[in-house]
């Protein structure tokens, strides 16, 4: 994807009134974000967009040259801009409804981070909550599972810090830009994640975005989307961790809640989750059945055979959900037909894809 196309993705994602569903509709219609952004008012009206959205699109199109320069500045600062069409966009997140079209990242995303569990909870944790969070993280790291959390005070901070101490990987999802660390006392923790090359900072908000209360529920949806399961260690009755748990349940993820004393405020949220049907986490080993740890070595071995070439990886990812005709594959990836055909022939020899119909291919997964 060239710089102008990537900048157009960013520009469209920042237009108020263009959410993920409408963004996808525009891509389906125009094929490329650049074409959608530069189509003009008449074309936008034909899609049923309101006049206020059209005015915002017009302004965004004017600012595209400056945004291209901004992308260069972000790159120099170590900030990556990932889109649905990028192979480094987290697979598990891409598959959820209404995933963010653009994701900003500092640090390193690895394929193994697809096996991740969120450990979240209250900012006002007890000594009991701290110990449980550490024990859960120790178990996850021991089995090579990435720890996801929100970099908040309390349980979130403990989860990230313990993952680093145990030599594991951790993903911090922010309710601000990835260059604006909140709370400020976690700047050293965020920097440790990056400097030790043990994970990444992620956000759907552009660099420079300040933390805002409205940003955190969408942030919690990303936490749930990245994870195989969500463990709520401690939570009050109005804790943001309960929002993460609700999103996880809506996405079909497993939700675990740690029981606690009925007399302690930080147990009221987890007890309520258990009452609503969340699985009781009696000990960290209860996660084993959900994570299917026995199959993890085989899955990792299969992942080791995945394509490492960026273009092969892009085609393989596009073919994972369902078989595609070469014409559809070209439309989805933006690559010319001749090149796609040649690369698919090589990938078929490698056993990465198989032909399932006339000019129609499907990805092989191990």
Residue 134 has what pLDDT? 97
User: E strands of 164-251, at which residues?
Assistant: 170-173, 199-203, 229-232
Contacts 24+ apart (CB under 8 A), 255-260: 255/229, 255/230, 255/279, 256/229, 256/230, 256/231, 256/232, 256/280, 256/281, 256/286, 256/287, 257/231, 257/232, 257/281, 258/129, 258/132, 258/231, 258/232, 258/233, 258/234, 260/128, 260/129, 260/234
Q: Tell whether the model's pLDDT for residue 302 goes beyond 60.
A: no
User: Per residue in 128-164, pLDDT tens?
Assistant: 999 999 999 999 999 999 999 999 999 999 999 999 9
Q: Is the pLDDT of residue 11 over 90?
A: yes
For residue range 24-34, list pLDDT tens digits in order: 999 989 989 99
| CATH numeric code, 111-294 | 3.40.50.450
* pLDDT at position 308 over 70: no
CB atoms within 10 A of CB 50: 11
Closest to 166 (Cα-Cα) out of 202, 196, 186: 196
Q: Average pLDDT, stretch 195-218?
A: 95
Q: pLDDT band for position 322 (50/70/90)?
A: confident
pLDDT, position 298: 58
pLDDT at 365 over 80: no
pLDDT tens for each residue of 329-346: 988 888 888 889 988 988
Q: Using pLDDT thresholds of 50, 70 and 90, give the confidence band for residue 307.
A: low
Tokens of 363: 């990805």
pLDDT at 326 over 80: yes
Structural domain boundaries of the chain? 3-76, 111-294, 305-363
Q: What's the rounded mean pLDDT across residues 267-280?
A: 96
pLDDT confidence tier of residue 303, bands split at 50, 70 and 90: low
Q: What is the dihedral of CA 218, 219, 220, 224, to 10 degrees?
A: 100
Mean pLDDT within 286-291? 83
**Above 90 in pLDDT, residue 50?**
yes
Q: Is the pLDDT score of 3 beyond 80?
A: yes
- The answer to whether residue 215 scores a pLDDT higher than 70 is yes
**Residue of 296 and 207 predicted with greater confidence:** 207
Supply the mean pLDDT for the chain: 91
Would you place residue 348 in the very low, low, confident or very high pLDDT band (cuts 50, 70, 90)? confident
- Of the listed ranges 13-27, 137-151, 230-244, 301-315, the one predicted with least confidence: 301-315
* Banded pLDDT at 294 (limits 50, 70, 90): low
**Which pLDDT score is estimated for 334?**
84
Correct CATH for 305-363 of 1.10.760.10, 3.20.20.10, 1.10.10.10, 1.25.40.10 = 1.10.10.10
pTM for the whole thing?
0.81
pLDDT at position 225 is 96
Portion of the chain with pLDDT greater than 90, in percent: 71
The residue among 276 and 1 whose pLDDT is bigger is 276
- Per-residue pLDDT, 301: 59
Predicted confidence (pLDDT) at residue 300 exceeds the cutoff of 90: no
pLDDT tens-digit map of 177-198: 999 999 999 999 999 999 999 9
Band (97; pLDDT cuts 50, 70, 90)? confident
E-strand stretches of the chain: 79-83, 102-107, 116-120, 146-149, 170-173, 199-203, 229-232, 254-257, 279-280, 324-325, 353-357, 360-363
Q: Report d(CA 55, CA 40) in Å as an integer.
A: 10
């Amino acid at each position: 994807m060239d710089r102008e196309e990537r900048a157009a993705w960013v520009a469209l994602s920042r237009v108020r009134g263009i959410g993920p569903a409408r963004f996808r509709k525009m891509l389906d219609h125009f094929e490329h974000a650049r074409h959608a952004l530069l189509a003009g008012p008449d074309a936008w009206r034909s899609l049923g967009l309101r006049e206020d959205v059209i005015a915002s699109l017009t302004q965004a199109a004017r600012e595209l040259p400056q945004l291209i320069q901004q992308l260069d500045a972000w790159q120099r600062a170590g900030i990556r801009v990932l889109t649905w069409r990028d192979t480094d966009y987290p697979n598990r997140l891409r598959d959820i409804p209404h995933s963010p079209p653009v994701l900003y990242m500092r640090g390193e995303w690895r394929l193994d981070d697809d096996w991740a569990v969120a450990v979240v909870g209250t900012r006002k944790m007890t000594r009991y909550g701290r110990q449980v969070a550490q024990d859960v993280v120790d178990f996850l790291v021991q089995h090579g599972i990435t720890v996801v959390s929100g970099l908040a005070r309390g349980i979130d901070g403990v989860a990230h810090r313990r993952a680093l101490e145990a030599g594991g990987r951790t993903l911090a999802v922010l309710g601000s830009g990835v260059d604006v660390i909140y709370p400020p006392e976690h700047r050293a923790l965020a920097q440790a994640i990056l400097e030790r090359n043990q994970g990444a900072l992620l956000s759907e908000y552009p660099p420079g975005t300040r933390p805002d209360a409205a940003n955190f529920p969408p942030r919690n949806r990303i936490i749930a989307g990245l994870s195989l399961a969500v463990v709520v260690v401690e939570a009050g009755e109005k804790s943001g961790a309960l929002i993460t748990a609700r999103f996880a349940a809506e996405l079909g993820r497993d939700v675990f809640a740690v029981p606690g004393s009925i007399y302690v405020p930080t147990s009221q949220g987890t007890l309520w989750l258990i009452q609503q049907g969340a699985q009781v986490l009696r000990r960290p080993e209860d996660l084993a059945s959900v994570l299917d740890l026995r199959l993890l070595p085989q899955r990792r071995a299969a992942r080791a055979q995945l394509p490492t070439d960026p273009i092969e990886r892009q085609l393989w990812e596009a073919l994972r959900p369902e078989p595609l005709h070469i014409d559809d594959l070209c439309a989805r990836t933006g690559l010319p037909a001749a090149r796609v055909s040649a690369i698919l022939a090589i990938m078929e020899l490698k056993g990465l894809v198989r032909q399932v119909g006339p000019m129609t291919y499907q990805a092989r997964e191990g």
